[in-house]
Amino acid sequence: MHDIRAIRDNPAAFDAALSRVGVEDASSPLLALDEARRAAIHEAETAQAEQNRAAKEVGAAKAKGDEAEFERLRALVTEKKAAVTEMQARARDLDAELTDALMRLPNMPLDDVPDGTDEDDNVEIRRWGTPRDFAFAAREHYDLPAVANGMDFETAAKLSGSRFVVLSGAVARVHRALAQFMLDTHVTENGLTETWTPVLVRDEMMYGTGQLPKFGEDSYRTREGWWLVPTAEVTLTNIVNDMTVAESYLPRRYVAHTQCFRSEAGSAGRDTAGMLRQHQFEKVEMVSITHPDSSLEEHGRMTRCAEGILEALELPYRTVVLCTGDMGFGARKTHDIEVWLPGQKTYREISSVSVCGDFQARRMNARMKPEDGGKPVFLHTLNGSGLAVGRCLIAVLENGQQEDGSVDLPAALHPWLGGKTRLTAEGELA
């Protein structure tokens, strides 16, 4: 969420920043609401002062025995009390309207984020690994003989509908091993704190990280009012919701493996084949809570944590900086890491690592108290996949596929598979 005081002080800068993400003249309606809200507050305070003054005079009139003045002042107090109540309600309504308007606006991109309209304008910053030169026509993951018995979309459709999958046998074990490998690597090598969190959250938590109010249709809600998390970013970031932490508390670096749920509203027809875009999937999510001065450095660190997983699995990837038109709602800057998928002959996103500045912290009212005793300030938040487990499974299967239909598995994964090194064409670990 944005600071209305900063908008009031420099509306031109605010408008210029948001115009880069497609929002024009954002300040005018906000400042009009702010002016009306402040006027209502002033009127309520003035009426309250008049009510208090009249209340004191009532006692004086009573003491003097001036019954007519006493009745006049008592009626005035009643009148002012009703006016104060009405004015205070008006001020609260305007404040809520202003807060809602602010919460619907995206974050402001950093100056070095490239301008653009879509993914074609993203800027590649590095590549790692060389895509394998296949001596045969590479298949997509769902066409591999090795997964024919372990990746069942028909049964999933019977159980739940489209965009679900049932994994079984060796394929399910490789999927689980990938998540365990990611978690253990992030904990033992990258210094993140393993965390287990709920997948059902309250409205306030979804507001805190920016899923609400604008993107409610992208998530699932239960009859009891809980939301199924689209990512553990929601729970991990909201650990500091409504908290003021000591500077020494920071940084906090969390990692969690959770089920994630997305309705994929507006994505009909996109990536419907296979496991690439599912309603239910698993992610190993990273979240950092930092000092405002160190969030940009942390962004680079988190990106390297995610890249390191792909390097350990020997999966070629490229890292891009998202342009303004392709960046998410809450981000100030995002690195997308795209893994090479031989079946599609292209790079596909497997992780987005974003620095949000104080955007989420303002929504959560999460602050840091400086060690020098200064005024508390909003802390900074970051999030990123480390990695999306299902998409990583796709990449492992497609990059390791052999002409006979088997799959060679990355050496880094062997310890999590009891020393097994490959999936046979019949779908067994060997």
Distance between CA 120 and CA 75 in Å, rounded?
70
Distance between CA 430 and CA 421 in Å, rounded?
6
pLDDT of residue 397 exceeding 60, the answer is yes
pLDDT of residue 321 exceeding 60, the answer is yes
The percentage of residues in the chain with a pLDDT greater than 90, rounded to a whole number, is: 87
Annotated binding-site residue? 168: no
Mean pLDDT of the chain: 94
Asked if residues 71 and 51 have their Cβ atoms less than 8 Å apart, the reply is: no
Distance between CA 308 and CA 190 in Å, rounded?
10
* Domain co-membership, 61 together with 130: no
The conformational region for residue 427 under phi > 0 = left, psi -120 to 50 = alpha, else beta, is left
Annotated binding-site residue? 232: yes
Asked if residues 211 and 383 have their Cβ atoms less than 8 Å apart, the reply is: no
* Domain co-membership, 154 together with 287: yes
Residue 74: C-alpha distances to residues 86, 122, 319 (Å): 19, 69, 72
Annotated binding-site residue? 385: yes
Annotated binding-site residue? 285: yes
Catalytic residue list: 262, 277, 349, 352, 391
Annotated binding-site residue? 50: no
In this structure, are strands 151-152 and 227-228 parallel, antiparallel, or unpaired? unpaired
Rounded to an integer, the average pLDDT of 346-358 is 98
- The 10s digit of each residue's pLDDT in 275-294 is 999 999 999 999 999 999 99
Residue 428 lies in a domain: no
CATH of the domain at 275: 3.30.930.10
* Domain co-membership, 173 together with 246: yes
Distance between CA 384 and CA 263 in Å, rounded?
20
Residue 418 lies in a domain: yes
C-beta neighbour count of 400 within 10 angstroms: 22
The pair phi, psi for residue 226, each rounded to 5°, is: -75, 155
Banded model confidence at residue 49, pLDDT cuts 50, 70, 90: confident
Rounded to an integer, the average pLDDT of 128-138 is 97
Residue 430 lies in a domain: no
Annotated binding-site residue? 350: yes
pLDDT at 273: 82
Residue 292 lies in a domain: yes
Residue 112 lies in a domain: no
Banded model confidence at residue 83, pLDDT cuts 50, 70, 90: confident
Residue 225 lies in a domain: yes
CATH of the domain at 25: 1.10.287.40
Banded model confidence at residue 82, pLDDT cuts 50, 70, 90: confident
pLDDT of residue 316 exceeding 90, the answer is yes
- The 10s digit of each residue's pLDDT in 104-115 is 999 999 999 999
pLDDT of residue 268 exceeding 60, the answer is no
Banded model confidence at residue 76, pLDDT cuts 50, 70, 90: confident
pLDDT at 71: 67
Q: Which long-range contacts (CB under 8 A, 24 or more apart) does 21-25 make?
A: 21/106, 21/108, 21/109, 21/324, 21/325, 21/327, 22/324, 22/325, 23/105, 23/106
pLDDT of residue 54 exceeding 90, the answer is no
pLDDT at 15: 98
Rounded to an integer, the average pLDDT of 312-337 is 98
* Domain co-membership, 206 together with 60: no
Banded model confidence at residue 50, pLDDT cuts 50, 70, 90: confident
* Domain co-membership, 235 together with 375: yes
Distance between CA 383 and CA 227 in Å, rounded?
19
Annotated binding-site residue? 383: yes
Q: Which domain holds residue 51?
A: 4-103
pLDDT at 339: 98
What's the token pair of residue 119? 């993914």
pLDDT of residue 123 exceeding 90, the answer is yes
What domain count does the chain have?
2
Strand order in the sheet with 333-341: 123-128, 317-321, 333-341, 346-355, 380-388, 280-290, 252-261, 193-194
Choice between 67 and 416, residue whose per-residue pLDDT is larger = 416
* Domain co-membership, 52 together with 171: no
pLDDT at 259: 97
Rounded to an integer, the average pLDDT of 204-224 is 95
pLDDT at 396: 98
> Of 77, 103, 129, which closes a domain?
103
Rounded to an integer, the average pLDDT of 95-120 is 97
Annotated binding-site residue? 154: no
CA angle 350, 353, 358 (to 5 degrees): 155
* Domain co-membership, 282 together with 166: yes
Residue 177 lies in a domain: yes
Annotated binding-site residue? 248: no
Annotated binding-site residue? 349: yes
